[in-house]
């Protein structure tokens, strides 16, 4: 009886030890499967593969370009017979297209003459962190009547844009945006270098900007989609070119929520740059999703046949004509040069072996001041868990969209490359600063951060960002 008691005690202890050991084994196993042990050399190889893709710093040209940028209230003619009240930069919508050369320093004296506080964010530009224009993260908002000087040397040539980062869903919608074009040696080779700022307005019956912002309808769907699409502030932008001309068309989506599915019927068009950066291999731009924040540079050689050629958006059932190219006049000899590309964009095919440094789960819930909150890992900005990314090392992040809506995720101050989509390898062959996630989609991204500081990471559907879909990464 006594022996049996001891025996059963030993048995219980044994079972307990085995249970503990197996629990420990399971935990260890889970840990290793979540974070497979990778030799540090794989990450180092990925960093090495990246190292010539773009530079840490730019060589200054010595030129300093001083500009004034004023945000104020004004009026524009976008619908015949009406004056539409807007907020604008330097009196027009879009605001100025600032054109500089790579290496130039810009000193932009910004003045706020709006009835609200504001800032200016330089979308896609690798600026010093203090110039990034994010209130509460990189600077204090500029008060009405106040000013702030943005001073930086863009590190990359390409197509960039700027807009407020305060109440963006209202301020951008009212007309506050402009472009920053950083030229390189290719800019002069084209017969024409053209910027098309594609915007979407929700106007009321008097052609005024619909005055209710962040409506529950916008918030529950893909942000505010309007009833008038403009290019460079015109509902029918038409440019003219001669037969045989080779033009560079820089498309920028400044809309709050609308995504454009680009189509270039009857045109010989080739995509050369995405989000400002040259691609590794040029591609057919037909079917490219230009989400809010995205840019696409297209190289077009105009045909010998005179006439009007359209660039359209076929995202919705009814196609929208974005703009037209009228080919007329005497033919010219087509400039002969190879497409500008960046052969140093890494393939990063071995990136699948590397553990994910951070997963961001995107979702929505009831609550907050708008009745719905858009969350990243269960938090709505200004609540967030800061994440550290390692400077000058390969980092891998993942976005998982649990919702049924679109989320063009934008990371400030960095470029990244898509590695996988829904778990399968997905080599786009170019960098981005904004990636569109469809309903229930997931993407993994690789990046080597070269710019230190606190950078926001948010949805560029401005209503989603306004309702919390924003977080901060610290590059150290």
470 binds Cu ion (CB under 5 A): no
- By C-beta, is 376 or 448 nearer to Cu ion? 376
**What is the enclosing helix (H) or strand (E) of 205?**
none
Q: What's the min distance (Å) between Cβ of 366 and Cu ion?
A: 17
Applying CB under 5 A, the span of 94-102, 197-205, 343-351, 462-470 interacting with Cu ion comes to 462-470
| Burial readout 240-263 (b: 16 or more C-beta within 10 A, e: otherwise) | ebebbbbbbbbbbbbbbbbbbbbb
Per CB under 5 A, the list member of 461, 470, 473, 475 interacting with Cu ion is 461
Burial class (CB in 10 A: 0-12, 13-18, 19+), 341: middle
Per CB under 5 A, the list member of 342, 464, 467, 470 interacting with Cu ion is 464
Q: Which of residues 280-319 bind Cu ion (CB under 5 A)?
A: none
- Say which residues have a Cβ less than 8 Å from residue 449's Cβ, sequence separation at least 6: 389, 390, 391, 392, 393, 395, 413, 414, 475
410 binds Cu ion (CB under 5 A): no
Q: Which of 315, 292, 287, 337 is nearest to 168 (CA)?
A: 292
Task: For residues 391 and 386, give the distance between their C-alpha atoms in angstroms, rounded to a whole number.
Answer: 15
Q: What's the min distance (Å) between Cβ of 199 and Cu ion?
A: 18
Residues 349-388 vs Cu ion: string with x where CB under 5 A?
A: ----------------------------------------
- By C-beta, is 418 or 470 nearer to Cu ion? 470
Q: How does DSSP classify residue 204?
A: -
**What is the enclosing helix (H) or strand (E) of 12?**
helix 2-34
Contact between 401 and 364 under an 8 Å Cβ cutoff? The reply is: no
Q: What's the min distance (Å) between Cβ of 469 and Cu ion?
A: 5
- By C-beta, is 176 or 459 nearer to Cu ion? 459
Task: For residues 332 and 71, give the distance between their C-alpha atoms in angstroms, rounded to a whole number.
Answer: 41
Q: What's the min distance (Å) between Cβ of 405 and Cu ion?
A: 6
467 binds Cu ion (CB under 5 A): no
Q: Would the CA dihedral through 256, 262, 268, 269 be positive or negative?
A: positive
Distances (CA, A) of 454 to 39, 135, 151, 168, 413: 29, 12, 18, 19, 9
Q: What's the min distance (Å) between Cβ of 432 and Cu ion?
A: 16
- Say which residues have a Cβ less than 8 Å from residue 266's Cβ, sequence separation at least 6: 303, 309, 310
- By C-beta, is 277 or 461 nearer to Cu ion? 461
195 binds Cu ion (CB under 5 A): no
Applying CB under 5 A, the span of 180-188, 257-265, 286-294, 399-407 interacting with Cu ion comes to 399-407
Applying CB under 5 A, the span of 13-21, 208-216, 405-413, 419-427 interacting with Cu ion comes to 405-413
- By C-beta, is 390 or 403 nearer to Cu ion? 403
Q: What's the min distance (Å) between Cβ of 407 and Cu ion?
A: 3
Q: What's the min distance (Å) between Cβ of 379 and Cu ion?
A: 15
Per CB under 5 A, the list member of 180, 397, 459, 475 interacting with Cu ion is 459
Applying CB under 5 A, the span of 134-142, 243-251, 410-418, 458-466 interacting with Cu ion comes to 458-466
Distances (CA, A) of 124 to 47, 293, 410: 21, 9, 9
Q: What's the min distance (Å) between Cβ of 475 and Cu ion?
A: 23
Applying CB under 5 A, the span of 195-203, 229-237, 333-341, 456-464 interacting with Cu ion comes to 456-464
86 binds Cu ion (CB under 5 A): no
Distances (CA, A) of 350 to 194, 344, 461: 38, 16, 32
Q: Where are the beta strands (DSSP E) in 153-244?
A: 158-163, 178-183, 192-201, 228-231, 237-241
Distances (CA, A) of 181 to 5, 161, 292: 84, 8, 18
472 binds Cu ion (CB under 5 A): no
- By C-beta, is 95 or 223 nearer to Cu ion? 223
Task: For residues 52 and 33, give the distance between their C-alpha atoms in angstroms, rounded to a whole number.
Answer: 32
Q: What's the min distance (Å) between Cβ of 464 and Cu ion?
A: 3
Q: What's the min distance (Å) between Cβ of 201 and Cu ion?
A: 20
Task: For residues 123 and 107, give the distance between their C-alpha atoms in angstroms, rounded to a whole number.
Answer: 16
- By C-beta, is 165 or 324 nearer to Cu ion? 165
Q: What's the min distance (Å) between Cβ of 293 and Cu ion?
A: 11
Task: For residues 190 and 181, give the distance between their C-alpha atoms in angstroms, rounded to a whole number.
Answer: 15
Per CB under 5 A, the list member of 167, 407, 412, 417 interacting with Cu ion is 407
| Binding residues for Cu ion (CB under 5 A) | 407, 459, 461, 464
């Amino acid at each position: 009886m006594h022996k049996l008691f001891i025996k059963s005690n030993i048995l219980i202890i044994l079972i307990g030890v085995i249970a503990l050991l197996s629990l420990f084994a399971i935990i260890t196993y889970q840990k290793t499967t979540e974070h497979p042990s990778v030799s540090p050399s794989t990450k180092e190889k990925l960093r090495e593969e990246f190292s010539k893709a773009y530079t840490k710093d730019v060589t200054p040209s010595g030129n300093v370009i001083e500009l004034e940028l004023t945000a104020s209230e004004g009026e524009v003619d976008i619908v015949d017979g009406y004056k539409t009240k807007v907020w604008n930069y330097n009196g027009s919508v879009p605001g100025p297209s600032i054109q500089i050369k790579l290496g130039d320093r810009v000193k932009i004296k910004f003045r706020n003459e709006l009835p609200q506080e504001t800032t200016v964010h330089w979308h896609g530009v690798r600026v010093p962190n203090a110039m990034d224009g994010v209130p509460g993260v990189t600077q204090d908002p500029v008060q009405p009547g106040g000013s702030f000087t943005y001073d930086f040397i863009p590190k990359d040539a390409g197509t960039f844009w700027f807009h407020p980062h305060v109440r963006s869903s209202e301020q951008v919608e009212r007309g506050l945006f402009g472009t920053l074009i950083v030229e390189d040696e290719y800019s002069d080779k084209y017969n024409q270098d053209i910027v098309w700022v594609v915007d979407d307005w929700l106007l009321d019956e008097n052609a005024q900007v619909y005055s209710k912002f962040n409506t529950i309808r916008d918030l529950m769907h893909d942000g505010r989609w309007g009833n008038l699409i403009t290019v460079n502030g015109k509902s029918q932008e038409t440019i003219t070119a001669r037969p045989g001309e080779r033009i560079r068309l820089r498309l920028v989506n400044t809309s709050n929520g609308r995504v454009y599915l680009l189509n270039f019927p009857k045109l010989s068009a080739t995509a050369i740059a995405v989000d400002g950066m040259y691609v590794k291999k040029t591609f057919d731009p037909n079917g490219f999703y230009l989400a809010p924040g995205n840019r696409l540079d297209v190289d077009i050689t105009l045909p010998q046949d005179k006439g009007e050629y359209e660039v359209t958006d076929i995202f919705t059932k009814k196609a929208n004509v974005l703009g037209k190219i009228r080919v007329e006049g005497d033919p010219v000899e087509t400039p002969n040069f190879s497409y500008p590309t960046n052969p140093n964009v890494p393939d990063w095919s071995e990136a699948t072996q590397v553990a994910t440094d951070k997963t961001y789960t995107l979702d929505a819930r009831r609550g907050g001041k708008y009745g719905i909150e858009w969350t990243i890992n269960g938090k709505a900005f200004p609540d967030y868990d800061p994440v550290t990314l390692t400077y000058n090392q390969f980092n891998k992040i993942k976005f998982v969209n649990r919702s049924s809506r679109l989320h063009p995720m934008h990371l400030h101050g960095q470029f990244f490359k898509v590695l996988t989509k829904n778990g399968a390898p997905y080599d786009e062959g170019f960098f981005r600063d904004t990636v569109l996630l469809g309903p229930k989609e997931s993407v993994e991204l690789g990046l080597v951060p070269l710019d230190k500081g606190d950078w926001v990471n948010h949805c560029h559907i401005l209503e989603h960002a306004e309702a919390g879909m924003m977080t901060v990464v610290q590059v150290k």
